[in-house]
Amino acid sequence: MPGLPYERRRARDEIAQRLAAIVESSDDAILAKDLDGTITSWNRGAERLFGYRAAEIVGKSVMLLLPDDRQDDEAPILARLRRGERVRHYETVRRRKDGSLIDISLSVSPLRDANGTVIGASTIARDITERKQAEERQRLLLREMDHRMKNLFALAGSLVGMSVRDAASPQELASIVQERLSALARAHALTMPKDSAAGSNDSVRLHVLLRTILAPYEGAGGGDDRLRINGDDVTLPGNAMTTIALILHELATNAAKYGALSSPSGTVTVECVAKKDTLALIWDERGGPRSDEPGEDGFGSLLGRLASGQLGGTIEREWRPEGLRVTLTVLRDRLR
């Protein structure tokens, strides 16, 4: 039929126009280049992704988009294209017009002429920055979880060993271990997100930690103001928080058994003093039974091991007629 070639050409042109419209409206960056790497077409998605307008970059080398350390990327891709091969989902880094770098996934397909000869390539570039950032956050979280679990297992092992020395029977050992683990669990709960969308806090304010660990002793056998927290409030990282929580638990337990908290009129004040290089927690008991320095002091050696081993700090105790005073001093460098 005489009109058939014309109809075919028109249909072919309409298909080409529709394909061109699809390419132009795509959110992905789509560009074409010849086998020398010269850019021959550039859609709006490419303008948004890379920052170059089509008029600025068509006719320029695709090497303009490669960072200095990725200049060897293009030659293997062009070699594969010349062999008629496709490159699928190749993840790499490219450079925007403003010099910033962007993580992208490339899919490159050969372009052929009417005779089937490869004359260039079409490239689809997709921004994968958010996915890469999410993967990096996940890697950091897993490393932090691994570090935190190792610390907790080491601390739990030390805790059991110290509890064995303090206990007179298996039942007492179980009770001591349970109380100490409960104190660590309360401290650990402070780092948990308040909702599923939030990440781990990985740090806590000192006053919040103090109130959380000492809450079981508040008002026990006396008024509601038996425990007072004064002074500076600083942020504690997770690794220091668990050790300080255990030290506070030991101090409160000792006070409830033998010190100020064993008396209805007894009080405990915790003074927090933050200086440039040090943080001091001063535990001050008043109004309890008269306290004398013990001959054998497992409690004191326990506090010393916790302070020096985990925090690189020191513990000082004063046995006064009005009550025990304990000063925990740690270097601020260990709280970062």
Q: What is the pLDDT of residues 118-177, one digit of tens each?
A: 999 999 999 999 999 888 888 877 776 676 677 667 666 656 765 676 677 888 888 877
pLDDT at 1 over 60: no
CATH number at 149 reads 3.30.565.10
- Last-in-domain residue among 63, 97, 127: 127
Gap between the Cα atoms of 30 and 247, Å rounded? 61
Mean pLDDT for the stretch of residues 1-10: 57
Residue 167 phi, psi (nearest 5): -95, 145
Domain count, the chain: 2
Banded pLDDT at 334 (limits 50, 70, 90): confident
Mean pLDDT of the chain: 80
Gap between the Cα atoms of 321 and 294, Å rounded? 14
Shared domain check, 257 and 243: yes
Shared domain check, 291 and 143: yes
Residue 19 phi, psi (nearest 5): -65, -40
pLDDT at 24 over 60: no
CB 37 within 8 A of CB 43: no
Banded pLDDT at 198 (limits 50, 70, 90): very low
Shared domain check, 262 and 169: yes
Shared domain check, 321 and 219: yes
CB 191 within 8 A of CB 241: yes
CATH number at 98 reads 3.30.450.20
In this predicted model, what pLDDT tens digit does every residue of 243-255 receive, in sequence order?
888 888 888 888 8
Identify the bridge partners of residue 38 per DSSP, sorted by sequence position.
Answer: 61
Banded pLDDT at 12 (limits 50, 70, 90): low
- Last-in-domain residue among 127, 147, 164: 127
- Last-in-domain residue among 111, 127, 143: 127
pLDDT at 92 over 90: yes
Question: What pTM was estimated for this model as a whole?
Answer: 0.50
Mean pLDDT for the stretch of residues 178-193: 71
Domain that holds residue 171: 132-335
CB 87 within 8 A of CB 107: yes
Percent of the chain with pLDDT over 70: 75
**Residue among 148, 103, 154 at smallest CA distance from 129:** 103
Sequence-distant (≥ 6) Cβ neighbours of residue 146 within 8 angstroms: none
Q: What is the CA radius of gyration of the chain?
A: 34
Mean pLDDT for the stretch of residues 312-330: 89
Which of 215-229, 238-252, 291-305 is most confident?
A: 238-252
Shared domain check, 93 and 22: yes
Shared domain check, 277 and 164: yes
The Cβ of residue 310 has, within 10 Å, a number of other Cβ atoms equal to 21
State the DSSP string of 31-80: EEEETT-BEEEE-HHHHHHH---HHHHTTSBGGGGS-GGGTTSHHHHHHH
pLDDT at 310: 67
Shared domain check, 163 and 309: yes
Shared domain check, 252 and 108: no
Gap between the Cα atoms of 296 and 298, Å rounded? 6
Banded pLDDT at 335 (limits 50, 70, 90): confident
Shared domain check, 325 and 275: yes
Gap between the Cα atoms of 203 and 240, Å rounded? 9
Shared domain check, 116 and 187: no
pLDDT at 59: 95
Shared domain check, 314 and 211: yes
CB 246 within 8 A of CB 180: yes
Shared domain check, 217 and 108: no
